[in-house]
Structure 1
Amino acid sequence: MTENTTTSATLHVVATIPIRADGVELARTALAELATATLAEEGCLAYAAYESGAAPGLFVTVEEWRAQADLDQHMTMPHIARAFEVLGPHLEGEVAIHPLQPLG
């Protein structure tokens, strides 16, 4: 098996978004739209939104960025502001953003 050298140099991020029951349908739509818009960004190598099958109301994004600067730019984009505007009133807790560090 060969190692993918691009993957080791990129930034992987997981974000968890806890949503109250009254906002789940809205979150599904908003996060699908966010994923589509984000995939068109310069520096975004992968971006997918998921709904947990184990924890009702928990949504997760799994992301790969070319560099930290690209993620920083992403956080200033209008579609991020719109997602927070739509989801904010339905949050069940804090959005947690986890930049991941490889173990080996």
Structure 2
Amino acid sequence: MTKLLDTFSALSDPVRFGIVEQLMADGERPAGHLVEGRGISGAAISRHLKILREAGLVTQRSVGAQRLYSIRPDGLRLIADWTISKRDFWEGSLDRLEAAILDEEAP
């Protein structure tokens, strides 16, 4: 559960959420490209990327002096698995509600 909480915590910041969205849409990107259009410094982006790495949401690799970042699908899978488990709960609840309503309407 702690890993899931770390994941949600990392994504709770709008800048970090935006970085994850960008990497999902565009694929691997250098850190410098993740600064563009955000109105924050390279140092601030580095701090955000560190939090995302520690939460297991992004990976970093170096090519020369350049650091490239990409999404870690396993990190996002935690969220997907949790969401699906809750979906089952709600579908079961709605099925029970439907059965109760039908039972009440029966003559």
| Greater fraction of residues in strand | 1
Asked which structure has the greater CA Rg, the reply is 2
Instruction: Identify the structure with the greater helix proportion.
Output: 2
Higher relative contact order structure (alpha carbons within 8 Å, sequence separation ≥ 6) = 1
Verify same fold: TM over 0.5: no
TM-score by length of 2: 0.29
Task: Please give the TM-score of this superposition, normalised by the length of structure 1.
Answer: 0.29
